Amino acid sequence: MSQPPELFSEADILARVDELAAEISEDYGDKGGIVLVGVLKGAFIFLADLSRRLTIPRRIEFIAVSSYGDKSVSTGAVRLVMDVRGSIEDRHVVIVEDIVDTGHTLSYLIGVLESHRPASIRTCALLCKADAVEVDVEIDYVGFNIGDEWVVGYGLDYAERDRTLPYIGTVEPDDR
C-alpha cells in the first residue's frame, strides 16, 4: 500500500510546534500556568509535543466529542462523549485541536468549557481549513492554514487509517 503524499514533513511540524509553544509560553508567562484541553482523538500527538515544549506550568485534560464518525462530510452535529475530569474553574484554558474544518466542534467545545467557569479560554489548532469555517469561532494559535484537502497523519485519520504517520499527508478522493 502506498504512503500518502507529504504536505508537511515531521521537521516542518515540529519546527512550527516549537514556535507555537514559545508563543503560548510568552503569552501566559505572567498568569501562573494553563490547562491544555486536548480534543480526542486527533489532538493526542500534537498535544503531547506541544505540552512538552511549553516553559510554563501546565496541566493536561482531555475532552471527547463525536461528530464525523467515518464520514468525510461534517453534519454540524456534535455530541459530548467525555467531559474534562479535573476542575478548570478559574484556570486559564487552551483548547488544543488537530484541525478546524467547519468550526462546529470548536464552537461547541467552547460552550461546554465555558460552563465550567474557567478564567479564560483560548484555542489552538495545528491545522485550519480557513475557507471551510462555517461558524464564527476565533482560533488564537494556528499552526498552518490549509486548503480543502483531506489530511492524515500526526494524529489525523481517515476512517482510523494513517493516524500514526509521523508526517501530515493528503488523501486523494479516489483513495477515500
Please identify every residue annotated as catalytic: 101
Q: Cβ 41 to ligand PRP, closest distance in Å?
A: 4
Residue with cell 479516489: 174
Q: Which is nearer to ligand PRP, 11 or 82 (CB)?
A: 82
Q: Which is nearer to ligand PRP, 25 or 170 (CB)?
A: 170
Question: What is the C-alpha to C-alpha distance for residues 22 and 16, in angstroms, rounded to an integer?
Answer: 10
What grid cell was written down for 31?
498568569
Q: Cβ 137 to ligand PRP, closest distance in Å?
A: 8
Which residues of this chain interact with ligand PRP, rule CB under 6 A? 39-42, 67-68, 74, 97-106, 157
Q: Which is nearer to ligand PRP, 16 or 41 (CB)?
A: 41
Q: Give the nearest residue (CB) to ligand PRP.
A: 42
Instruction: Order the strands of the 6-8 sheet from edge to edge.
Output: 6-8, 168-171, 150-152
Q: Cβ 90 to ligand PRP, closest distance in Å?
A: 26
- Buried b / exposed e over 81-103, threshold 16 CB at 10 Å, is eeebeeebeebbbbbbbbbbbbb
